[in-house]
Amino acid sequence: MQYPLEGIKVLDFSRVVAGPFAGRLLADLGADVVKVEPPDGDNTRLHGKNIQGISGMFNQQNAGKRNVCLDLRKSGAVAVAKELAAVADIVLENYRPGVMSRLGVDFAVLSAENPKLIMLSISGFGHDSPESHRPSYAPVVHAEVGLMHRMAQRNGTPPGDLPLSTADTNASLHGVIAVLAALTMRNQTGRGQHIDMSMMDATFATDDRAHFEMEDAVDTLPVCPIVDLPFGQVFIATDMKLLFKKLNRHGGLADPTPEGADLNTKIALRNQAIEERLKQCENIEQLGELMDTIDLPWGQVRDPHDLEAQATLKHRGMIVQIDDRAGGTRPIADSPYRFSNATSGVRGPAAHRGEHNRSVLNDWLGLADASIDARIDAGILISDSSEPQD
């Protein structure tokens, strides 16, 4: 089946996670995504398991992309970037506001040559904010938008960061939605546009609990229990009161409360009875049967090392093995999109720095080898010399 974005060209100047994740999603959907990497390399090349010079984090965010390494400080390098943007459909970047302008490849410059161009700019605080100048990573946004405070308050712990880059991935996901909307509008108007995506905006807009604090209201969502059972910890998506009621009516649990007991005694005895009833389940399968009987959502508090055994991820093929460039394979998350009449999915490993200098300039610009060699000799195009180039 056809990929939905076949034929779409994406020039990806972004680095780390906010931006590269958007490019990865577009690549999984069939776009030809070319990562433009600086000579110093993307910071994520330093994080995760390194196999054949490619780290796990870089691989996760950049799988399926081609790679061109441009030294934009060299005379003639900006001209190459402009030539590539002139034939691109989409440009991605996540520099601080003003950097692309200083480099000479901002939207005003690029769209003058390519009016159909769509540019997605992701930054911490947006391009027109009084804080636009501030550098930002995901934890900065997690702190500023209240997530760290809420997590500390809920868990009764000192403030700390979330164990994933929520602000980065939210900005990328909202950015992709905006890009696809802009592509649809371009089909109607014939013109592209610039998308200013703030990590603060994207994270705040996706926060389904912010309204409690903004309206100074009590968070009325239940505090759900995590229960220690002989075979591991289990999260049950309800409060203890409803859990007791369900187990009492449908799960074979008798009410242990003596007549006339006060409220605290009643709560303590019922909570103890709940724990004893759940511990009658000898394994996760029996617990699952019980939860099905009483019709409550639940989840095993799973060690991430065991994700390949998770039934849904396994059945839907969400963890795939791709070429590790060293004669073996390595695991990676696949595309989550399931179409009835199209396909999506990771289309290969991440590239070495500058691995596709030659093929991209040939495919996109039609440059001959001699012209590409001249740019290599001038230091405009750089590659990892130990790796074969195409």
Interatomic CA distance for residues 92 and 107, integer angstroms = 11
SS3 content of the chain, % helix, strand, coil (to 5): 40, 15, 45
Token pair belonging to 127: 């391009």
Point out the catalytic residue in the list 12, 32, 168, 196. Answer: 168
Q: Tell me, what's the pLDDT at 222?
A: 85
Rounded Cα distance, 169 and 199, in Å: 9
Active site annotation includes 168:
yes
Q: Residue 155: CB partners within 8 Å, gap ≥ 6?
A: none
Give the up-direction half-sphere exposure of residue 330: CA atoms within 13 A in the CB hemisphere: 22
* Neighbouring residues of 371: CB distance < 8 A, sequence distance ≥ 6: 361
Read off the pTM: 0.94
Q: Hey, which bits of 231-355 come out as E strands?
A: 232-236, 298-300, 319-323, 329-333
372 phi and psi, to 5 degrees?
-70, -40
Per-residue pLDDT of the chain (390 residues; tens, 9 = 90+): 899 999 999 999 999 999 999 999 999 999 999 999 999 999 999 999 999 999 999 999 999 999 999 999 999 999 999 999 999 999 999 999 999 999 999 999 999 999 999 999 999 999 999 999 999 999 999 999 999 999 999 889 999 999 999 999 999 999 999 999 999 999 999 999 999 999 999 999 999 999 999 999 998 888 899 999 999 999 999 999 999 999 999 999 999 999 999 999 999 999 999 999 999 999 999 999 999 999 999 999 999 999 999 999 999 999 999 999 999 999 999 999 999 999 999 999 999 999 999 999 999 999 999 999 999 999 999 998 655 556
Of residues 321, 310, 308, the one with CA closest to residue 63: 321
**Between 20-28 and 166-189, two packed helices, what is the crossing angle to 10 degrees?**
60
The DSSP-derived string for 179-235 is HHHHHHHHHHHS---EEEEEHHHHHHHH-TTHHHHHTT----S----EEEETTEEEE
Residue 390: per-residue pLDDT: 60
- How many residues in the chain? 390
Closest by Cα among 135, 149, 123, 118 to 26: 118
**What pLDDT does residue 385 have?**
61
Neighbour-count burial of 214, counting CB atoms closer than 10 A to its CB (0-12 exposed, 13-18 middle, 19+ buried) = exposed
What is residue 387's predicted lDDT score, i.e. its pLDDT? 52
Q: What domains can be seen in the chain, in order of their start residue?
A: 9-211+337-382 (3.40.50.10540), 226-307 (no CATH)
